[in-house]
Structure 1
Amino acid sequence: MEGAAIQGDSRDNLIIQKACELVGKFDWIITSPPYYGLRTYLPDQWIRNWFLGGPSVVDYTSEGQLSHNGRDRFIADLRQVWANVGARCRPGATLVIRFGSIGDRLVEDPAQLVSASLEETGWVTTEILHADNAARGRRQADTFHRKRSAPYDEVDVWAKWRP
């Protein structure tokens, strides 16, 4: 079985097309998009991106990232991702999305937000599972913040591609 790890903005259809050229149509997509309201996703992941060939300096701009300027805009951006990856999947492919919340956006249930983003994309939600929270591992927030907060529970949303 072959696979591909994609580093790039999946709203851009060319990113998905390039990965598909390497391995053919997809049977599985496993992802964890930035949680709603997390504007520092890329800077927070700087060292991981650097190991994958990214820049050697931290870029704190948010240009080009998923929009966090409102629920509807965020959902529309995610919907573009799901449509793009779905177009490169075999019928019956599986999508697994790990998603959660951040402190200032707890008014939104993560499972409802992801489910709304999947509507009208060809992806059908088949299961939503409680995925616990980051307290079981080492949280970056615990390492770098003086005031520790409790992590929020995350969900795994499973969907099937049914165009």
Structure 2
Amino acid sequence: MFPEGFVAEQLYAYTRPDDVVLDPFCGRGTTVLESLLNNRQGLGTDINPVAACIAGAKANVPALKSVLARIGELAGDFGKQTYRELPPTEFFEHCFHQDTYAEVAFLRGILSWRRSSVDRFIAAVMLGILHGESHRSGMYLSNRMPRTISTKPDYSVRWWRERGLRPPRRETFEVLRQAARFRFSQPPPTRKGHVVLTDARRCARVLRKHEGSVALVVTSPPYIDTTDYAEDQWLRMWFLGGEPKPMLRLHKDDRHTSAENYWSFLEDVWRGCAPLLRDKARIVVRIGGTKLDKPVLLQGLRGSLVQGLGGRTVRALNQGTSSQIAKRQTNSFRPGTSPDRLEHDFTFSIS
């Protein structure tokens, strides 16, 4: 996730109020939200349901009173239930207290996060409290876990057993109310954006009403040979309707190990975005990886843009700005791993 200030810097440099800004790999929605907060139009797509849910909640924030009313309605409906869904695997028995699991499973089954902005916002809040360092905060529903990624089931159960850790009883609806109120501690944007759960290569099809209007793209594609987002977020994926286990390579482009295939993939993405770009648009890409250095990344990225945006002139505005990747997850789970990993920001003019 790149910081808000990075997006704001691009907005001030390359757009004016009311301009359209796109992120085809929108992730948690930083580009979309910052665009809306700075009086721009924010658009995003992502193929990962977790990303689309969180970014979509930021793009279309309902009123707090509507959110709290819906949570109250859900709590009342849960209280009328006589059936309690059993945990599907041993992992869930160790991850959640049985009463907490019943509430989580109920919300999983009833929230219409794809269609309702209120339910989407509640689901996004749930994703934030679903698991985390519960020994440090009562705002996490799970047994002790990282909050950034979902650890694997077998590893988690073994780790909890070795330490004699049991899941805490959390009052899910009350924690949900507190977390929702916290999200409104800062005013949400007054403008509404648009985020679509889809493959980035379908950008122009799902956002066709914005054809020829995008002034700026600020994005960060999956880094080559770095991570598999669906696998790392499997528990949150489960909450949104997925399988109760990690799904390696849920999408074939979740993790590329071949540079040739990676650039071909990005070429297709730019081709899918091309009809949306206006003349003299700008594309800002933050990119990294463990295999390719900065010159190779610049060359490959520019080549993919030239091929994907066939017929348009692609000009690099700089040779890239580099920075260290902060708080790498690998450092936490693999002691001794080198922290020296760089990511690079490249800016291109498209005409």
1:70 equivalent to 2:258? Answer: yes
> Normalising by the residue count of structure 1, what TM-score does the alignment of the two structures yield?
0.75
User: Which of 281, 291, 301 is the matching residue for 1:93?
Assistant: 281
Higher relative contact order (CA 8 A, sep 6+): 1
Over aligned residue pairs, what C-alpha RMSD do you find? Answer: 3.1
Pick the aligned partner of 1:61 from 241, 245, 249: 249
- Aligned residue for 1:27, secondary structure, equals strand
> What is the CA–CA distance in structure 1 between the aligned matches of 2:344 and 2:316, rounded to whole Å?
13
Q: CA deviation at 1:107?
A: 6.5
Which of 150, 153, 159 matches 2:348?
Answer: 159
Aligned-residue sequence identity (percent) comes to 20
- 2:61 counterpart of 1:3: no
Instruction: Look up the SS of the partner of 1:17 in the other structure.
Output: helix
SS of the aligned residue for 2:215 comes to strand
1:16-56 superposed Cα distances (whole Å, 9 cap, x missing partner): 432343x5631111111112223524323x27x75xx5747
Structure 1 residue aligned with 2:318, among 124, 127, 141? 127
Contact 2:230 2:254 in 1 (8 A): no
Give the letter aligned to residue 334 of structure 2: H
Preserved CA contact (<8 Å) 1:97 1:156: yes
Number of residue pairs matched by the alignment: 154
Contact persistence 1:66–1:77 (CA under 8 A):
no
The letter of the residue matching 1:133 is Q
Residue 300 of structure 2 is aligned to residue 113 of structure 1: yes
Hey, what's the Cα distance between the residues in 1 that align with 2:248 and 2:322? Answer: 29
Structure 2 matches for 1:10-29, cutoff 5 A? Answer: 10-11=200-201, 13=202, 15-21=203-209, 25-29=213-217
Task: Say if 1:106 and 1:158 are closer, same or farther in 2 by CA, change over 3 A.
Answer: closer
SS at match of 1:119: helix
Higher share in strand: 1
Unaligned 5+ runs, structure 2: 1-39, 48-198
Distance 1:139 1:39 in 2: 11
Higher Rg of the two aligned structures: 2
Corresponding position of 2:11: none
Q: Which has the higher helix share?
A: 2
C-alpha distance in 1, partners of 2:322/2:257?
27
Gap runs ≥5 in structure 1: none
